[in-house]
Each structure stands twice: as C-alpha cells, then as structure tokens.
A and B are shown apart, each in its own frame.
Chain A
C-alpha cells in the first residue's frame, strides 16, 4: 500500500463544474503540498499546508491532520485547469509523492 493515495486517478469534467481531488496518507507529516503538472512536464507548487484551509483564486485546499486527509477543490473549472494534480507529503526529511490525478476539463 502506498503511503500517499490519491483519488480519483482520472477525472473528466465539463467547463464550469466544481472539482474535488482527494489525498490520504498513512505517515506522520509536517506539511502537505499540492502540485500541478502540465503535459510538458513542468511542475508548479500550488499550496503548502500544515493545517486548516488555503485559497488562491479558484483553488481551495484543505487538510484534516487527525484524519490524515486533504482535498483540493477547483471552482468554476476551465479547460486550462487540465493537468495532473499531485499530492506530496513531507515525512521526516523528504517528500513522498502520490501518483497523481489526471484532470481533463472539456469546453
């Protein structure tokens, strides 16, 4: 069993839909990251969380430390949101990555 599990693995949506991507982890962490990877391969850091909730534009990330669970929400989704979204947790001294959620948003 992977230490970081994401769901769903693949997600398709129509433009404008509200999207939720989930991340569960089984190790103790000091922080959790949500990353966005576009088809060209580049990775962008979206959020770093250690508690509570963060919002940036149409993106919202939440974390529940007791339940070892985080969610990434996208409101009013747009085709340019199409990417792979990766959850990564900071364990003792390194990042542990989930396998990613592939999101496709159609016009």
Chain B
C-alpha cells in the first residue's frame, strides 16, 4: 500500500515570497491533516479536513496560510507571504476516519531566509 506522498521535500525561499506544498493521502482515507513542526517542538495541527470540508482550522494563521482539498483527495497548503518564523517541517497525515490511526508523509522542510 502506498503511503502519504508530499512534495516538494525541501524548499528554500526568501521572506515575503509565496510557497505551496502538495499532499496525496493514502487511497480511501477521508481525513487529512496538515501539521507544522518547528525545530525542537512537537507537531502543531494547522488544519484538518474531512473529505473536502474543513473540520478544524483554529490554529491556522489565516492572514497568510490557506489550504484546500477540492475533490476530497489531494490537498495543497499555501503560505503567502512567508515570514522567517514559518521555517519548519510541514507534515501531512491521513486516516481512514477521525478516530483511526494517522499515517504521516515524509514532510516538506521549509527554510525562509
């Protein structure tokens, strides 16, 4: 069974630039999560989708971050404009349902200069 795919694996940008990350969850998984993990900290949930609807985006900085999952499968997370403090690993995870085990992708490591 293929795992959660993410791209790109690494991205370096300058502050005020825009960046987008892509996630392809495990086939059949209805729930998709985006996490931000700053160095030395545990992952922080940014947004949770159930199919193509948003369940929880309470910790998403909506002035600069946006995410969508239009067809209930792939998802994109965008940062516009990026700040230095956005440097982190962005992890995508998926699960069959909200109560089931989450499977994590390899993450996208973002460095904002």
Contacts and interface: CB of A to CB of B under 8 A. Distances in A.
Interface of A: 4, 30, 33, 35, 40-45, 48, 86, 88, 93-95, 97-100
Contacts, number: 47
A46 B22 CA distance: 25
Nearest to A102: B40
B104 A93 contact: no
Given A40-B106, A97-B43, A99-B42, A48 B101 contact: yes
A99 B40 contact: yes
A21 B80 CA distance: 39
Nearest to B90: A41
Interface residues of B, number: 23
A39 B101 CA distance: 22
Interface string B43-61: 1110010000001100000
Contact of A45 (B98, B101, B106): B101
Contact of A41 (B44, B98, B102, B109): B109
A43 B106 CA distance: 7
A43 B104 contact: yes
B25 interface: no
Contacts of B43: 43, 86, 97
B106 A97 contact: no
B98 A98 contact: no
Interface string B63-103: 00000000000000000000000000101010000110111
Contact of B48 (A30, A42, A86, A94): A94
Contacts of B41: 99-100
Contacts of A95: 45, 102
B56 A93 contact: yes
Contacts of A35: 104
Contacts of A93: 55-56, 98
B24 to A, nearest CB: 15
A30 B33 CA distance: 19
